[in-house]
Amino acid sequence: MQLQPLADRVIVQPLKEEEKTPGGIYLPDTAKEKPQQGKVVAVGPGRLDDKGQRIEMAVKTGDRVVYSKYAGTEVEIGGEEYLILSESDILAIVQE
């Protein structure tokens, strides 16, 4: 990874959405939902509180997370798409 997020930012690689429905119908790109789950590939050091103390991040590299639908900034690096999110845009960690 060539990006290192700052403060409470997290870099997430969105999971690929299904190309067909459970009934076997293939979906065109225009009909697909925006993904809301992804894998954390990099985590910033955490934000600073009012006293200058670093607040530890709740997520770590490798976590599978659910994030807000329209959150973050999309970037493309090496042909792969990533999202740069604030930690507050992450709604949950998926336990497998």
Question: Taking a C-beta distance cutoff of 8 angstroms, is the pair 55, 85 a contact?
Answer: no
pLDDT for residue 34: 66
Going through the chain in order, the beta strands assigned E by DSSP cover 9-14, 37-43, 64-67, 73-77, 80-86, 90-93
- Cα→Cα distances 66→11, 13, 26, 28, 36, Å: 13, 11, 24, 23, 6
Which position has the higher pLDDT, 8 or 30?
8
Between CA 54 and CA 45 the distance in angstroms is 8
Mean pLDDT estimate for the chain: 87
Question: What's the whole-number mean pLDDT along residues 39-53?
Answer: 94
Question: pLDDT band for position 16 (50/70/90)?
Answer: confident
Q: Residue 96 has what pLDDT?
A: 76
pTM for the whole thing?
0.80
* Domain spans of the chain, in order of start: 9-16+27-93
Please give the pLDDT value at position 35. 67
Fold (topology level) of 9-16+27-93: 10 Kd Chaperonin, Protein Cpn10; Chain O (2.30.33)
Asked if residues 68 and 89 have their Cβ atoms less than 8 Å apart, the reply is yes
